[in-house]
Structure 1
Amino acid sequence: MGKIKGFILNRKQYDKIRKMDHCQMTMWAESVYKSGYKDGKETAEADSLTIDQVRECLLTLKGFGEKRVSSICDELQRKMSHTSD
């Protein structure tokens, strides 16, 4: 897991947020969301398993041969590339 960035709201930021109108608050909330999404996506990509790691793990299991592991990994790869588009 990556380092978790803390969010500390100081008094100056709090007063600024409190004085925002609806449009400003919407834009601020959207920027916070996008920042969190970006950080989460980067962390997930850095900590994710690779197909080679999955292959190694499956090959250690009894009953899984090279052919079956290859077909599983091919299907996982196809699904992962399909959902990332």
Structure 2
Amino acid sequence: MKKYELNRKQYERIRKMDHNDMKEYLNAVYENRYRAGERAASEKAAEVPDLVGLEEEIQNIRGIGGAKARAVCEVVKSFFERKVAGPDETGSEISGE
């Protein structure tokens, strides 16, 4: 995240603020950083996780062979892709249950 820099002009303006002005200024700074954090988190959450090695781990489960492990991996991958895409055409989100 970008480091916040305070220039001389902002410093002089802040230095002359009364209690109420300072409170409003700090609330605005907090809200801006909070929204920036939300955007960054949603962008990171929108990425489909890397599933390399999942098939091998699934094959370690007794009774699951290569074909079934591939099928499970495809279902998991499509689930994550739908989850990233957001609400489906009916307008409801995928619950994950």
Aligned length: 70
Rounded Cα–Cα distance in structure 2 between residues aligned with 1:33 and 1:59: 40
Greater relative CO, 1 or 2 (CA 8 Å, sep 6+): 1
1:2-43 deviation per Cα after TM superposition (whole angstroms, max 9, x unaligned)? xx2221101111111011111111110000001001111111
Q: What is the 5 A alignment of 1:1-85?
A: 4-48=1-45, 53=49, 56=51, 59-60=54-55, 61-62=57-58, 63=61, 66=72, 78=95
Q: What's the TM-score once normalised by structure 2's chain length? A: 0.52
Unaligned runs of 5+ in 2: 80-93
Percent of aligned pairs with the same amino acid: 31
1:43-82 deviation per Cα after TM superposition (whole angstroms, max 9, x unaligned)? 11111155x637x46843233963xx86xx7xxx637xxx
RMSD, aligned CA: 3.2
Quick check: which one's helix share is greater?
A: 1
Unaligned runs of 5+ in 1: 80-85
Rounded Cα–Cα distance in structure 2 between residues aligned with 1:58 and 1:31: 45
Where do 4+ consecutive residues of structure 1 move more than 2 Å? 56-66
